[in-house]
Amino acid sequence: MNQNKYQQDPNLDRFLDHLWSVQGLSDNTLSAYRTDLRHLDKFIQQQGSRLLYVEQSHIQLFIEHRFKAQPAKTSQARMLSSLRRFYQYLLSTKQISRDPTALIDSPKLGQKVPTSLTEVEVDALLSTPNEEDVIEARDKAMLELLYATGLRVTELISLTVDQISLRQGLVRVVGKGDKERLVPLGEVAVEQLESYYTKVRPQLLGDKISDVVFPSKRGQKMTRQTFWHRIKHYAMISGIHSELSPHTLRHAFATHLLNNGADLRVVQLLLGHSDLSTTQIYTHVAKARLQQLHQQHHPRG
């Protein structure tokens, strides 16, 4: 089939609509699914077939074709995950009788240990913003809240005033798939937020009205990129040279809890992980830290 005459299979849009309406996936995730499945759709049409009639051999050929130039295991795993989910949807809606991806093995991936910060580095980072400056005072409140709760950056910038109860010391977080969880704030974060609400937020908003907890200079919801640049700015000033990510403080939150004896399942609930195996990666960080301390301080280390 001539690629210029490609016509997208209508099942793709139905599947994506299902993910959006039923499972509440983000636009970025939906875009990744769309890209992966359009590649498959085009490939299958070029083979003279359609998505509903795909066999396991088609999927294997497609994966080999797709990753001939870029054989990264992470990319293969993500692509296969998209295909599996699509064919499980077709199976559940009785459009196919068997899943052509069922017997295809996922590439084995090594666990990537997330970059974290030591407690000393976190203290340095959190003490860097100048509270006499309105923007930096806002940033300090955000950093304190991030470290106290382990929120994802998207969850943090999306917080609205009615999600935080300073009296109860809790934040109601709307996470992935619109799942809600309650996370305690801790005394330091509560004090920081009380000061922020009283002295800083009114100056940021001026005569504007917004329910966003941490508005930008324009009184609007901040972007992930803006906050990420702010974190890197303070890290540079505080002399932190570790490789950072937007979730560095989330990783530090989890690691430091485990280092201090927290139960893994409690950390799982606080982070909003649906699967305990996702949380278990932090035990590797905690163990590595304990081994380092043992070697430094034990007389026979």
Query: Tens of pLDDT along 169-220?
Result: 988 988 777 778 888 888 989 999 999 999 999 999 988 989 999 999 888 8
Asked whether 101 and 62 are in contact (CB, 8 A), the reply is no
Q: Cα–Cα distance between 30 and 82 in angstroms, integer? A: 10
Helix axes 134-149, 224-237, angle to 10 degrees: 100
Strands (E), the chain: 164-165, 170-174, 180-184
Q: Residue 71: what pLDDT? A: 58
So which residues are the catalytic ones? 152, 176, 247, 250, 273, 282
What is the location of CATH 1.10.150.130 in the chain? 3-92
pTM over cut 0.75: no
Q: What is the CATH number of domain 3-92?
A: 1.10.150.130
Give 255-294 pLDDT, tens digit per residue: 777 776 766 676 676 776 655 555 555 565 555 554 554 4
Q: Cα–Cα distance between 182 and 50 in angstroms, integer? A: 46
Residues 6+ apart with CB under 8 A from 143: 125, 126, 129, 231, 234, 249
What is the location of CATH 1.10.443.10 in the chain? 119-297
* The CATH number, out of the four listed (3.40.47.10, 1.10.443.10, 3.40.1390.10, 3.90.79.10), of the domain defined by the range 119-297: 1.10.443.10
Q: Which long-range contacts (CB under 8 A, 24 or more apart) does 201-210 make?
A: 201/138, 203/134, 204/134, 204/135, 204/138
Q: Cα–Cα distance between 133 and 6 in angstroms, integer? A: 56
Give 153-182 pLDDT, tens digit per residue: 889 999 999 999 999 998 898 877 777 888
Q: What is the mean pLDDT of residues 223-252?
A: 84
Torsion of CA 183, 187, 189, 190, to 10 degrees: 90
